[in-house]
Amino acid sequence: MSKKNAILLAATELFSQKGYEGASMAELSRMTGAAGGTIFHHFKNKEDLFLNILRGIKEIILNSFDQYLEDGNLKNGMDMVEGAVSFYLQLASQMPTQFLLLHQHFPYKMAETNPVCRDYLESIYNCLLDNFEKGIVKGQKDGTIENVPARKCAMILFSMVDGIARFNTYQLYNAGALYDELIMMCRKMLRSDAYAPRG
Amino acid sequence: MSKKNAILLAATELFSQKGYEGASMAELSRMTGAAGGTIFHHFKNKEDLFLNILRGIKEIILNSFDQYLEDGNLKNGMDMVEGAVSFYLQLASQMPTQFLLLHQHFPYKMAETNPVCRDYLESIYNCLLDNFEKGIVKGQKDGTIENVPARKCAMILFSMVDGIARFNTYQLYNAGALYDELIMMCRKMLRSDAYAPRG
DNA sequence: AAATCAACCGAATGATCGGTCGGCTTTTTA
DNA sequence: TAAAAAGCCGACCGATCATTCGGTTGATTT
């Protein structure tokens, strides 16, 4: 592996473990065996290094999402919503280091002043959030989902699933153990009354 | 106000804005007008300062919770769950700086090695999480809530509400605008089928 | 073979970090 | 009112911070 890639990989680990301010270039140098100067040869400064990492994460997520849509076997809107939940949880468990990064505060802090950072974050979250919203809208057309405010409910769904993924990321609870209940609750939240069981 | 309190107050703001590593004692000194030595006269080090802040937050939340339970007009389990949602969102909007602190990664990181920190965080989250669980259990006894796994569903509810509160904390979206939908979704998620509308 | 170039090194930089210390001032105690 | 204690100050400390820079290597181009 090229030294540049080794730096990117180690820095991802370091930023996600210690945060942006807590990660030092000297430690990164130690981790990779690269001299201090080498890091700044490949990246113009610490912020630029972080933005390169974030861009990589964005590309992985957007590519995974495209892949997921191609493979998708989505019969109706409710299936699409459930698929979005699965997709999100699988993604989060497949790349825990990257999600640990995304689940910290400093990227959002940086986004307040850095438009490139903001752009990357928006791309990531729009991709994930829109996935829920499209499912709801589709479900409302095919009758599987009730007439609820699509964007708002997508946000509620998103924050629910993201919170569960966060349990996993922070190693507070195994998200997989909540999967069945999560899917069940999504169905009950959204299903049109015509499909609700009768008392 | 005593200098010690001024330091605590300013440090809360500083930690929540810049994170633990990003907050410097020199800046805290500038903010409060207190000399560097004064800060270390009142708190033995940076970590101790943070723990004092966290203890204060714990006490506010636990006291608010006791107050809420006393005032509570909770007819049945479903009411109790809805009350828990309202309580959480109100709390988060009343003390945004403190929730910004709680929503960062460094307290959990510190909790891995510092048992006092862990104790404070567990107190806070058990208080909030148990509130949901008790409501669900009660509702299952009085028939307003379906026979679902109480703890697991409490966690799902918790992460949903916490995610919405986080939107607010990070100033990405106004949580109040989602309140009605949130309550509606909670009802649909939990209500026993006997109470569900018929198609 | 000479020149060019990117990759890489590691010592050095000034700034800032968390934390200490001795002494001054004010309040409390005896 | 004398003594003790608590609050407070700011200069100072060694360590570490992100970043710079002059120089060496090895491959590619001319």
Q: Looking at the complex, does the CB of residue A151 fall below 8 Å from at least one CB of chain B?
A: no
Specify the nucleotide whose C1' lies closest to residue B36 (CA): D10
pLDDT confidence tier of residue B171, bands split at 50, 70 and 90 = confident
Average pLDDT for B56-84: 92
Q: Is B120 in the same domain as B173?
A: yes
Q: Which residues touch strand D (CB under 7 A)?
A: A 23-27, 36-37, 39-41, 44-47; B 2-4, 33-38, 40-42
CB contact under 8 A, A19 and B105: yes
Query: What is each CA distance from A101 to A14, A109, B14, B171, in whole angstroms?
Result: 10, 13, 21, 19
Token output for A136: 């709801």
**Same domain for B101 and B118:** yes
Is B178 found in the same domain as B82? yes
Q: What percent of chain A has pLDDT over 90?
A: 88
Q: Within 13 A of A77's CA, how many CA atoms are on the CB side?
A: 21
Judged by a CB distance cut-off of 8 A, whether residue A147 touches chain B is no
Sign of CA dihedral B142, B194, B192, A133: negative
Domain span at residue B69 reads 45-195
Q: How far is B1 from chain A (nearest CA, A)?
A: 31
Question: pLDDT tens-digit profile of A8-53?
Answer: 999 999 999 999 999 999 999 999 999 999 999 999 999 999 999 9
End-to-end CA distance of chain A: 62
**Residue A90 identity:** Q
| Alpha-carbon distances, residue B112 vs B104, B107, B121 (angstroms) | 14, 9, 11
The verdict on B37 and B49 lying in the same domain is no
Looking at this protein, which amino acid is placed at residue A139? G
Question: Domains in chain A: how many in total?
Answer: 2
Q: What is the pLDDT of residue A1?
A: 72
CB contact A149 to B (< 8 Å): yes
- Over residues B132-151, the pLDDT tens digits come to 999 999 999 999 999 999 99
A50 inside 8 A of chain B by CB: no
Q: Provide the pLDDT for residue B15.
A: 98
* Nearest nt (C1') from B32 Cα: D8
With bands split at pLDDT 50, 70 and 90, how would you rate the model's confidence at A199? very low
Q: Does an H or E element contain B4, and which?
A: helix B3-22
Chain centroid, CA B153 distance in Å: 18
Q: Are residues A34 and A132 in the same domain?
A: no
A24 and A49 in one domain?
A: no
Averaged pLDDT, B49-60: 98
Mean pLDDT is lowest, of A162-171, B120-129, B139-148, for A162-171
Q: At A189, which CATH number?
A: 1.10.357.10
Q: Domain check: are B58 and B8 in the same one? A: no
* CB contact (8 A) between residue A104 and residue B100: no
> How many degrees, rounded to 5, is the angle at CA A171 between CA A167 and CA A177?
60
Which bases of strand C sit closer than 7 A to a protein CB? 7-12, 16-22
Helix, strand, or coil (residue A183): helix
Q: How confident is the model at residue B70 (pLDDT cuts 50, 70, 90)?
A: confident
Mean pLDDT value across residues A77-83: 95
Per-residue pLDDT band at B199 (split at 50, 70, 90): very low
Residue B32: which CATH number? 1.10.10.60
Same domain assignment for residues B98 and B191? yes
Rounded, the Å distance between the CA of B27 and C1' of C15 is 14
B72 versus A66: which is more confidently predicted? A66
pLDDT for res A198: 43
Closest by Cβ to B21, choosing from A22, A163, A173: A22
Average pLDDT of span A61-76: 89
The percentage of chain B sitting over the pLDDT mark of 90, rounded to a whole number, equals 88
Q: Do B163 and A167 make contact, defined as CB atoms within 8 angstroms?
A: no
Separation between Cα atoms, residue A165 and residue A162, nearest integer Å: 5
Last residue of a domain, one of A10, A26, A43: A43
Average pLDDT over residues A114-122: 98
- Together in a domain, A12 and A90: no
DSSP state of B95: -
Secondary structure (DSSP) of B29-89: HHHH---HHHHHHHSSSHHHHHHHHHHHHHHHHHHHHHHHHHH----SHHHHHHHHHHHHH
- CA B1 to C1' C16 (Å) is 30
Residues B117 and B39 in one domain: no
Q: State how far the Cα of B80 lies from the Cα of A97, in Å rounded to an integer.
A: 37
- Confidence band, pLDDT 50/70/90 cuts, at residue A71: confident
Contact B178, A155 (CB under 8 A): yes
For residue A43, give the 3-state DSSP assignment: coil
pLDDT bin (cut points 50, 70, 90) of residue B129 is very high
* First CA to last CA distance, chain B: 62
Q: Are A3 and A34 in contact (CB under 8 A)?
A: yes
Are both B20 and B50 inside the same structural domain?
no
Cα–Cα dist A61/A70, whole Å:
14
Could you tell me if B32 and B57 lie in one domain?
Answer: no
Residue spans of alpha helices (H) in chain A: 3-22, 25-32, 36-42, 46-71, 77-94, 96-102, 106-113, 115-142, 150-169, 179-190
- Region B179-199: mean pLDDT is 80
Instruction: Name the A residues in 11-40 with CB < 8 Å from any B CB.
Output: 18-22
